[in-house]
């Protein structure tokens, strides 16, 4: 046997040390890194629910006689469900990679339209409500045409249409609050209800459940998300991008119109300046929701939890004596934080 063959057999018979991990780190270190990433991912997904629970516990301890009461909690739900509807409406274009900045203005116009039709023109309030929601959907069609046919950025197109709607709201209201006697069956949508929770809350949650199923468990929902994640790739895969953008803007406007109708039912009147104040907190909730549950993706559950977080935070701070300017500062700060977290996460990919 030649010396080369002897050396070959010697190498085969000699014990071989365990192969080091590809990264050059010990296996235990790698396991610790994996566990750390898993814990970080879990903390990211549950960040908003955990913060919501912490705020509720803190406010309950600080104000035990007023905050953790059934009346206060049902009041939070009954006052925030309109905002929840607006946020859910605006969520659909965001999933599709578009913006709808007209949702607050559509709410204000719709709130005024149903009041003017029923109180000034004597139209049955339920017929007026149906006309109002259809009008909102027509506004969504106009928004979609500006985006798809005129090739105007959805950010600019919907902001412009919203500004136009604010002027039309002043026009049909004659720049005054429209008030009068509305049917009790209509007013009951936004007041009272089982356990002090307004029926409008259950309408909003019903819309949320429909969107949750539609966006996460149907082909249309998956295609909407595919468009938002990569429009060119979705188009190459045969996805009807324009149809989905059209659908998202019409649905967004329709839900905002429904929110406007329910806002009039809750208030018993219509204020021409009410709409724009809903836009910022709705966007804040949507972007904050994209940092939790399904981080990096706009999602229904995250948006609902974020609305509750904003509502609980403002309610608790108000009970602690915070002034009125706290809410816009709180909402704006949350929006900046949510967008910042989203951008940092995107850069890590």
In a domain, 92, yes or no: yes
Q: Mention every residue, 6+ apart, whose C-beta is less than 8 A from residue 64.
A: none
In a domain, 31, yes or no: no
The whole-angstrom separation of Cα 89 and Cα 211 is 9
Q: Mention every residue, 6+ apart, whose C-beta is less than 8 A from residue 6.
A: none
Q: Copy the structure tokens of residue 272.
A: 């021409």
pLDDT of residue 322: 83
pLDDT of residue 19: 46
The residue range of the domain holding 80 is 51-348
Tell me the helix, strand and coil percentages in the chain, rounded to 5: 75, 0, 25
In a domain, 8, yes or no: no
pLDDT of residue 98: 96
The structure's pTM equals: 0.85
Helix (H, G, I), strand (E, B) or coil at 178: strand
In a domain, 2, yes or no: no
* Number of separate domains in the chain: 1
pLDDT in tens, the chain (349 residues): 444 444 444 444 444 444 444 455 565 666 666 666 666 567 678 888 888 999 999 999 999 999 999 889 888 998 899 999 999 999 999 999 999 999 999 999 999 999 999 999 999 999 999 999 999 999 999 999 999 999 999 999 999 999 999 999 999 999 999 999 999 999 999 987 777 789 999 999 999 999 999 999 999 999 999 999 999 999 999 999 999 999 999 999 999 999 999 999 999 999 999 999 999 889 989 999 998 888 889 999 999 999 999 899 989 988 998 888 887 887 788 778 777 776 676 666 5
The whole-angstrom separation of Cα 28 and Cα 37 is 14
In a domain, 4, yes or no: no
In a domain, 142, yes or no: yes
pLDDT of residue 340: 76
The whole-angstrom separation of Cα 153 and Cα 302 is 26
In a domain, 180, yes or no: yes
Q: Alpha carbon of 70 to those of 57, 66, 194, 299: distances in Å?
A: 15, 9, 12, 28
Q: Minimal CA–CA distance to 94: which of 228, 209, 4, 244?
A: 228
pLDDT of residue 30: 61
**Contact, 77 vs 88, CB < 8 A?**
no
pLDDT of residue 15: 46
**Contact, 161 vs 142, CB < 8 A?**
yes
Q: What is the CATH number of the domain that holds 175?
A: 1.10.3470.10
pLDDT of residue 245: 97
In a domain, 46, yes or no: no
Q: Copy the structure tokens of residue 102.
A: 């007209």
Q: Minimal CA–CA distance to 154: which of 90, 111, 208, 207?
A: 90
pLDDT of residue 111: 97
The whole-angstrom separation of Cα 331 and Cα 279 is 10
């Amino acid at each position: 046997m030649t010396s080369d063959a002897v050396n070959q057999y010697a190498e085969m018979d000699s014990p071989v040390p365990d192969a080091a991990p590809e990264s050059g780190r010990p296996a235990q270190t790698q396991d610790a890194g994996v566990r750390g990433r898993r814990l970080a991912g879990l903390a990211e997904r549950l960040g908003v629910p955990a913060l919501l629970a912490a705020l509720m516990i803190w406010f309950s301890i600080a104000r035990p006689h007023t905050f953790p009461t059934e009346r206060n909690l049902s009041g939070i739900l009954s006052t925030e469900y309109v905002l929840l509807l607006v946020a859910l409406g605006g969520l659909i274009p965001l999933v599709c990679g578009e913006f709808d900045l007209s949702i607050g203005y559509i709410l204000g116009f719709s709130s005024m339209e149903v009041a003017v039709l029923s109180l000034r023109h004597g139209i049955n309030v339920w017929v007026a409500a149906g006309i109002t929601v259809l009008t909102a959907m027509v506004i969504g069609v106009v928004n979609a045409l500006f985006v798809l046919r005129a090739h105007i950025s959805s950010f600019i197109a919907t902001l412009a249409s919203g500004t136009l709607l604010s002027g039309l709201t002043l026009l049909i209201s004659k720049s005054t609050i429209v008030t009068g006697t509305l049917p009790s069956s209509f007013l009951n949508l936004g007041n009272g209800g089982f356990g002090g929770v307004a029926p409008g809350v259950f309408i909003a949650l019903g819309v949320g459940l429909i969107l949750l199923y539609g966006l996460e468990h149907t082909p249309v929902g998956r295609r909407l998300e595919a468009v938002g994640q990569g429009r060119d790739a979705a188009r190459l895969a045969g996805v009807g991008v324009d149809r989905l953008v059209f659908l998202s803007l019409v649905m967004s406007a329709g839900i905002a119109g429904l929110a406007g109708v329910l806002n009039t039912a809750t208030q018993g009147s219509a204020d021409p300046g009410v709409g724009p104040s809903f836009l910022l907190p709705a966007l804040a909730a949507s972007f904050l929701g994209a940092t939790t549950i399904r981080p990096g993706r706009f999602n229904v559950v995250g948006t609902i939890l974020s609305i509750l977080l904003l509502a609980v935070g403002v309610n608790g701070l108000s009970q602690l004596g915070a002034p009125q300017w706290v809410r816009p500062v709180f909402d704006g700060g949350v929006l900046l934080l949510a967008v910042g977290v989203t951008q940092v996460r995107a850069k890590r990919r």
